[in-house]
Amino acid sequence: MNIQDISNKNYFVFDAFGTLFKTSEVKAELTQIAGEKTDNLINVWRNKQLQYTWLRNEMNRYQPFSTVTRDALDYSMRLNGITDEKVFDILLPLYDTPQLIEGAKDLLKTLKEKDKTVAILSNGTRSMLDNGVQLTGIQYYVDHILSVDDIGIYKPQPAVYQMALEKLEATTAELLFFSSNQWDVSGASNFGLDACWINQYGETKEGLPFGNMVETGSLRELTSSFL
């Protein structure tokens, strides 16, 4: 598969956070509390978010992403010796008030103009996703919002990608999955979906198994492939 082949698909399914949505910058406000520990606080938090979803999958102990996010932040605060609970008030709401990544709206608008079906498939809670879609104004271009809340399992478990096929009543040949997260692309492509890795952060390719995948550098680059 190459970048030109993607226009032949009918169903375009996007990861949400890091792919379409970015969280607001709050570093200056956070630095007033965390000081020189700010970067480590955020980095550990982000890493533990992912680790906790994967570990909960292994233990069959699902909790919504909002709970996992709070647990990860609580750990990072304790690790960094930060006790001011204002940190929760600063960071936790970010997932309910995201911003669009550059080029996202243009891409989604172009897909709808081409009569494609557009969906979001995310580990985020339904509330997070509904809020994000409404606040960023992309509700006119998104046909389906799919949250792992519906099945109580996180990506990259195969059941999540199967849910997308079933909810959309699509076949693997008709659907293309997009994510900026390599572990997500690996999961989707190994499940059997054609996938597009949006390498908008200039990452080195991971040593993970990948199925049928194409790489692109940005959402804008994707949009140009439809024009």
Strand partners, 122: 147
Identify the architecture of domain 3-22+97-224 in CATH. Answer: 3-Layer(aba) Sandwich (3.40)
Contacts of 109 (CB under 8 A, 6+ apart): 141
pLDDT of residue 222: 87
Label each residue of 64-116 as H, E or C: CHHHHHHHHHHHHHHHCCCCCCHHHHHHHHHHHCCEECCCHHHHHHHHHHCCC
pLDDT of residue 192: 97
Question: In which residue are the tokens 């993607």 written?
Answer: 6
- In CATH terms, the fold of domain 27-95 is DNA polymerase; domain 1 (1.10.150)
What is the amino acid identity at position 155?
K
d(CA 130, CA 6): 27
Tens place of pLDDT for every residue, the chain, 227 residues? Answer: 666 667 789 999 999 999 999 987 777 889 999 999 999 999 999 999 999 999 999 999 999 999 999 999 999 999 999 999 999 999 999 999 999 999 999 999 999 999 999 999 999 999 999 999 999 999 999 999 999 999 999 999 999 999 999 999 999 999 999 999 999 999 999 999 999 999 998 999 999 999 999 999 999 988 887 65
Out of 15, 149, 184, 194, which one is annotated catalytic? Answer: 15
d(CA 7, CA 202): 24
For the chain, which residues make up each domain, given as ranges?
A: 3-22+97-224, 27-95
Instruction: Provide the 10 A C-beta neighbour count for residue 128.
Output: 25
pLDDT of residue 3: 60
What DSSP element (H or E) covers 27?
A: helix 27-34
E-strand ranges in the chain read 11-14, 21-22, 99-100, 117-122, 144-147, 175-179, 194-198, 213-216
- Using DSSP's 3-state secondary structure scheme, residue 197 falls into strand
Asked if residues 13 and 194 have their Cβ atoms less than 8 Å apart, the reply is: no
Q: Omega into 93 within 30° of 0, i.e. cis?
A: no
pTM of the model: 0.95
pLDDT of residue 164: 98
Instruction: Provide the 10 A C-beta neighbour count for residue 14.
Output: 25
Treating both helix axes as pointing N-terminal to C-terminal, what angle do 158-168 and 182-191 enclose, rounded to 10 degrees?
70
pLDDT of residue 8: 84
Whole-Å CA distances, 86 to 26, 31, 45, 82: 12, 12, 15, 10
Using alpha carbons only, what angle is made at residue 209 by residues 71 and 16, rounded to the nearest 5 degrees?
45
What is the amino acid identity at position 120?
I
The reply to whether 5 belongs to the active site is no
